[in-house]
């Protein structure tokens, strides 16, 4: 039986270097992430079928991230449209289980008088995204 894990040790590593030619390192101050792996479907329903019929197409990978402003501003190096290496871990307790590939990133910053400056963003695959483990 599978055992649930806490999300508190999840981690996104990404190349935040200016030229996107560095090593992936932990993205600071994040507290949420997501990955979606949807598959394109083409309907091929024909006369006489009892239900709709679909063919599987290409798999997609995209996701979201959230957290708090990184005062070093490295997160904004990632918004230039250049594909960047990334590694997404459900938990750093199991470093042999992760997703990896390259992606482009979009980041939004939000500040309020009564709260911390927050960041949110999304990413989309720029290469195959592979699951290890």
Phi and psi dihedrals of 92, rounded to 5? -75, 0
The closest of 24, 13, 15 to 89, measured between CA atoms, is: 13
Does 2 or 122 have the greater pLDDT score?
Answer: 122
Q: What is the pLDDT of residues 63-97, one digit of tens each?
A: 999 999 988 878 889 999 999 999 999 999 999 99
The closest of 102, 131, 80 to 14, measured between CA atoms, is: 102
pLDDT value, residue 2: 85
- As a whole number of angstroms, the distance between CA 55 and CA 73 comes to 44
Whether residue 105 has pLDDT greater than 90: yes
| Strand positions, DSSP E, the chain | 11-14, 25-26, 30-36, 39-43, 54-59, 62-68, 84-89, 98-110, 118-125, 130-132
- Say if CB 88 and CB 12 are below 8 A apart: yes
Whether residue 24 has pLDDT greater than 90: yes
**pTM of the predicted model as reported, rounded to 2 decimal places:** 0.88
- Say if CB 27 and CB 69 are below 8 A apart: no
- As a whole number of angstroms, the distance between CA 98 and CA 110 comes to 29
Whether residue 44 has pLDDT greater than 90: yes
Tell me whether strands 84-89 and 11-14 are parallel, antiparallel or unpaired.
antiparallel
Query: Collapsing DSSP states into helix, strand and coil, what is residue 46?
Result: coil
């Amino acid at each position: 039986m599978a055992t649930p894990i806490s999300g508190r040790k999840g981690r996104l590593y990404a190349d935040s270097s200016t030229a996107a030619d560095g090593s992936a390192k932990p993205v600071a101050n994040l507290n949420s992430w997501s990955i979606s792996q949807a598959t394109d479907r083409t309907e091929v329903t024909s006369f006489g079928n009892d239900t709709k019929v679909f063919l599987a197409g290409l798999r997609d990978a995209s996701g979201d991230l959230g957290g708090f402003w990184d005062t070093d501003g490295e997160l904004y190096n990632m918004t230039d449209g250049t594909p960047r290496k990334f590694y997404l871990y459900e938990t750093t307790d199991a470093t042999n289980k992760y997703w990896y590939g390259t992606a482009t990133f979009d980041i939004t910053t939000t500040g309020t008088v009564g709260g911390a400056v927050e960041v949110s963003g999304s990413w989309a695959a720029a290469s195959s995204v592979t699951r290890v483990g």
